């Protein structure tokens, strides 16, 4: 006999250990959408005239994010959604995800901007990491992608830049910053403030567990790519992920409590902690905290 949904009598498709609920497809979809709408309302206040740039890699998180934002705001004529995809130049990986990203934006009728590291920085990520270097591929990739995303978002007049970070990503990042004692980064994770030159970041999926994002993509038959980036072996994040997942099994709700505790305290820490002065990078003009931005530093520009 199949297990029934605790809200209606249909067959359950998931057991949420943290809530103690078995739920069916319809109630699962409702639950994910409720969490996302609540996060947007409480933290990101989408308003009339907003242009929401959505970072779309073609993986499950960004695909679900774009689909949901389109579902929630697609009918609003006073809000525009634009998808941004960065082609870092990772052979055998990015081509596949790009194809999924293109499929989704054409199905939803969403404007889609694709830009590459090669055009922007004259080198692909593969070429950058083939040279002698001190840092891992993800450090280059993360810094350069973030910088390029912000640049494009500014160019199109975006008022928000949404990314697909889910609950697992957020809990891992919070723990990594704790383990590293990195208060600066912790504060940067806090709810966004308006800063000239930096488009406001929004993470509407931050209250949805990773597994549920994947299930949401599957039940809605969204096109997404499941392959893993060949550089994806950032050691510390993997260790932290395994540790949190083990805790979650033994103590359901751990991921939510890590986030709740962080959300409650970060505002207080930020008040006490001196804010870094912002300036413009002397090479590329991007907003940053030093004379040279991180991206230009990594590229050896001066």
For binding to Zn ion (CB under 5 A), which residues are involved? 281, 283-284, 286, 293, 296
Using CB under 6 A as the binding rule, whether residue 142 contacts ligand SF4 is answered as yes
Q: Which of 51, 138, 183, 284 binds ligand SF4 (CB under 6 A)?
A: 138
Q: Which of 24, 205, 222, 229 binds ligand SF4 (CB under 6 A)?
A: 229
Using CB under 6 A as the binding rule, whether residue 123 contacts ligand SF4 is answered as no
CB of 294 to Zn ion, least distance (A): 8
**Residue nearer to Zn ion on the CB measure, 49 or 300:** 300
Quote the strand ranges of the chain, DSSP E.
12-16, 21-24, 51-55, 80-87, 111-116, 160-162, 200-202, 279-280, 287-288
123-130 contacts at long range (C-beta below 8 A, 24 or more positions apart) = 123/89, 124/88, 124/89, 124/90, 124/91, 125/88, 125/89, 125/90, 125/231, 126/89, 126/90, 126/91, 127/89, 129/231
**Residue nearer to ligand SF4 on the CB measure, 135 or 276:** 135
Q: Is there a contact between 43 and 202 (Cβ–Cβ < 8 Å)?
A: yes
Q: Which of 91, 232, 276, 278 binds ligand SF4 (CB under 6 A)?
A: 232
- Phi/psi at 100 (5° precision): -65, -40
Partner whose binding site includes residue 281, from ligand SF4, Zn ion, none (CB under 5 to 8 Å by kind): Zn ion
> Could you tell me how many residues of this chain bind ligand SF4 (CB under 6 A)?
7
**Rounded to an integer, what distance in angstroms lies between the CA atom of residue 299 and that of residue 144?**
9
Stretch that binds ligand SF4, among 46-54, 78-86, 173-181, 229-237 (CB under 6 A): 229-237
CA distances from 34 to 67, 169, 229 (A): 15, 20, 31
CB of 232 to ligand SF4, least distance (A): 4
Contact residues for ligand SF4 (CB under 6 A)? 137-138, 141-142, 229, 231-232
């Amino acid at each position: 006999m199949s297990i029934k949904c605790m809200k209606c009598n249909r067959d359950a498709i998931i057991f949420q250990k943290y809530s103690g609920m078995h739920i069916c497809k319809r109630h699962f979809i409702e639950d994910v959408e409720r969490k996302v709408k609540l996060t947007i309302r409480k933290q990101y206040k989408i308003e009339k005239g907003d242009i929401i740039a959505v970072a779309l890699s073609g993986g499950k998180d960004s695909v679900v994010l774009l689909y949901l934002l389109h579902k929630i705001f697609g009918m609003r004529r006073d809000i525009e959604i634009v998808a941004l995809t960065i082609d870092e130049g990772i052979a055998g990986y990015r081509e596949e995800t790009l194809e999924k990203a293109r499929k989704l934006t054409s199905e939803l009728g969403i404007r889609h901007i694709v830009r590459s590291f090669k055009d922007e920085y004259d080198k692909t990520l593969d070429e950058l990491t083939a040279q002698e270097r001190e840092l891992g591929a993800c450090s280059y990739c993360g810094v350069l992608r973030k910088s390029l995303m912000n640049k494009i978002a500014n160019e199109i007049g975006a008022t928000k830049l949404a990314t697909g970070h889910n609950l697992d990503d957020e809990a891992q990042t919070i723990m990594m910053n704790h383990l590293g004692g990195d208060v600066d980064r912790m504060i940067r994770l806090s709810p966004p403030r308006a800063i000239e030159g930096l488009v406001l970041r929004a993470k509407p999926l931050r209250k949805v567990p990773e597994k549920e994002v994947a299930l949401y993509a599957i039940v809605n038959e969204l096109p997404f790519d499941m392959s893993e980036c060949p550089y994806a072996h950032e050691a510390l994040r993997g260790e932290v992920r395994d540790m949190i997942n083990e805790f979650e099994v033994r103590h359901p709700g751990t991921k939510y409590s890590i986030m709740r505790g962080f959300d409650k305290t970060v505002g207080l820490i930020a008040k006490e902690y001196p804010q870094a002065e912002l300036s413009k990078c002397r090479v590329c003009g991007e907003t940053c905290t030093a004379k040279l931005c991180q991206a230009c530093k990594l590229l050896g520009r001066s």
